[in-house]
Amino acid sequence: MSPTISSLARLTLRQLRQIASDLGVPLYSRKSKETLVDEVAVRQEKRGGDLKAIEAELNAPAISTTETRVVFLPRDPQWAYVFWEISDSDRQRAQKEGANRLCLRLADVTGMQDGNAHPHTLQEVPVDSHSTEWYLPVPLCDRDYRVELGYRIASSWMSLAYSSIARVPALHPSEQILDQFVPFSLDASPAPAPSAAPMPTAPANETSDSGLHERLYQSATVHFRRRRVGSEEFQEAFHDASDSSRSGLNDSGIGLWASGRNESGLGGVASRQRSFWLVADAELIVYGATDPSARLTIGGEEVPLSSDGTFRIQVPFRDGEQLYPIEATAADGDQKRNITLNFERQTPDDNSNPASEARAEWF
């Protein structure tokens, strides 16, 4: 064995890896000690360097570490990165007590208090005594974990330091839904029956004055209602008329007697009488968030914000176009942000009617 190889063989694996890194040996962290000794010796002889100088540098006293600490950093839902430092006093104490293995303990502490951990979740992972970093597999994502650094001394355990608690991210997007949808109607709601369940409470950012929704809708559609021409204007005016003005007329505008039927049915023919109804409509939800101290307007109408700066407005979504210009102004008035939303709805067929307007029909 040459003097160079003999000197290299006396070095630890960690020291050999440091030399291999300086000499540019590829994949040095995955190679055995024997392989590293051969490759380092070959490269060192080619460079003509002084191995004794390198040994002296590696054997120089290291900077004293005064505090032992361990840091736990989740990398992804399945792996976490851990690095640590051990003070000289802790190392000497471990050697005196006969420590034979450095270990990391991973504990699930989700929802626990006072440093407790869930039972049967503790995992002990042995690591290289000269290492200062390690990758730990995470048993279950979307949980809180803590790492403990320590030495295994026969059947006993010597604890050195605890990491801070960190949350490992979930593997899939969150299934939690924070949206709170509140039924809304422009018509006055009838008083609930005594046995009926109480109506849901509106979110904090909803105003008790439902006129805000109506004003926003009128502001968003007034431009387009003026553009109605011809039969569109007639149909809109016809549907807005009261029920009393439509007495004696059917949906086509023809009198009740025009078809030859009267309320008693067809003469001499037995008929069936049936009452039927259908109600269906849509609402538009405009929501977002801004700085809680900002002033938010939609179509020039100020909209209240919740404590975290979010807002949600439910307005009718009727046929035609609706334009909602949204603008947020900073508290000092120096900054502004805006967005304009344009919606259009079409109802090609509508043969619905509420229960209160259901009339007996003859078949």
Beta partners for 326?
298, 339
- Parallel, antiparallel, or unpaired for β 360-362 and 336-345? unpaired
32-37's contacts with Cβ under 8 Å and 24+ in sequence apart are: 37/5, 37/8, 37/9
Beta partners for residue 137, in sequence order: 79
Closest CA to 283 of 197, 210, 357, 354: 210
As a whole number of angstroms, the distance between CA 221 and CA 237 comes to 16
pLDDT at 295: 93
**pLDDT value for 246:** 45
Each of the 363 residues of the chain gets a pLDDT tens digit; together they read 455 666 777 777 777 777 877 777 787 777 888 888 888 888 777 766 555 555 554 444 444 557 899 999 999 999 999 999 999 899 889 888 888 889 999 999 998 888 888 878 889 999 988 888 999 999 889 899 999 999 998 889 999 999 999 999 888 776 665 555 556 555 555 555 444 445 444 444 444 455 777 777 777 776 555 444 444 444 444 444 444 444 444 444 444 444 444 444 444 445 565 678 888 888 888 999 999 899 999 988 899 998 888 998 888 888 889 899 999 999 888 899 999 999 999 989 888 888 777 777 765
For 69-167, give the CATH class: mainly beta
Closest CA to 36 of 8, 70, 57: 8
Q: What is the model's pLDDT at position 241?
A: 45
Query: What is the Cα–Cα distance from 253 to 285, expressed in whole angstroms?
Result: 35
Cβ partners under 8 Å of residue 288, min gap 6: 310, 311, 326
Per-residue confidence (pLDDT) for residue 50, from 0 to 100: 53
Start and end residues for every CATH 2.60.40.10 domain found in the chain:
69-167
Q: How many whole angstroms separate alpha carbon 298 and alpha carbon 215? A: 10
